[in-house]
Amino acid sequence: MRSRAILCAVLLGLVLCQGAAAANEAVELAFKFAPGDVVKHEVSVSGAGHLRSSQGQMSAIGVRGAFSIVYTTREVLADGSGRVEARIPKASLDVNVGEESTRLLYENGRLRWFANGQEHAPPEADLSQLPLMGTPVVFTISPTGRLSDIALADPRVLGALQQAVPGINLGQFRGTSDGLFPEGPVGVGETWRQSAVVTPLGPLMPITVSTSHTLDSYSEEGGIGVAKISGYSEARLQWRPTTVSPGGTEVTVGIPELRQTVTSTEFFNTSEGRLLRGDYEVAFTTRVSVQVGGEEREGEAEARFHIFVQAR
Q: Which residue has the higher pLDDT, 225 or 288?
A: 225
Per the structure, the count of domains in the chain is: 1
In a domain, 13, yes or no: no
Q: What end-to-end distance do the CA atoms of the chain give, in Å?
A: 54
Task: For residue range 63-77, list pLDDT tens digits in order.
Answer: 999 999 999 999 999
In a domain, 149, yes or no: yes
What are the Cα distances from residue 95, in Å, to 23, 64, 233, 240, 305? 45, 7, 26, 30, 13
Q: What angle do CA 192, 194, 195 make, to 5 degrees?
A: 155
Q: How far apart (Å, rounded) are the C-alpha atoms in residues 233 and 236?
A: 10
In a domain, 11, yes or no: no
Q: Which residue has the higher pLDDT, 54 or 284?
A: 284
pLDDT above 60 (res 166): no
In a domain, 12, yes or no: no
Task: For residue range 203-221, list pLDDT tens digits in order.
Answer: 767 888 999 999 999 999 8
pTM reported for the whole predicted model: 0.81
In a domain, 5, yes or no: no
Average pLDDT along the chain? 83
Q: Assign residue 257 the CATH number of its domain.
A: 2.30.230
pLDDT above 90 (res 129): no
Given this model, what pLDDT does residue 174 score? 44
The alpha helices in the chain, defined as continuous H runs, are: 2-23, 155-164
In a domain, 260, yes or no: yes
In a domain, 122, yes or no: yes
Could you list the residue range(s) of the whole structural domain that residue 196 is in? 27-311
Given this model, what pLDDT does residue 176 score? 41
In a domain, 22, yes or no: no
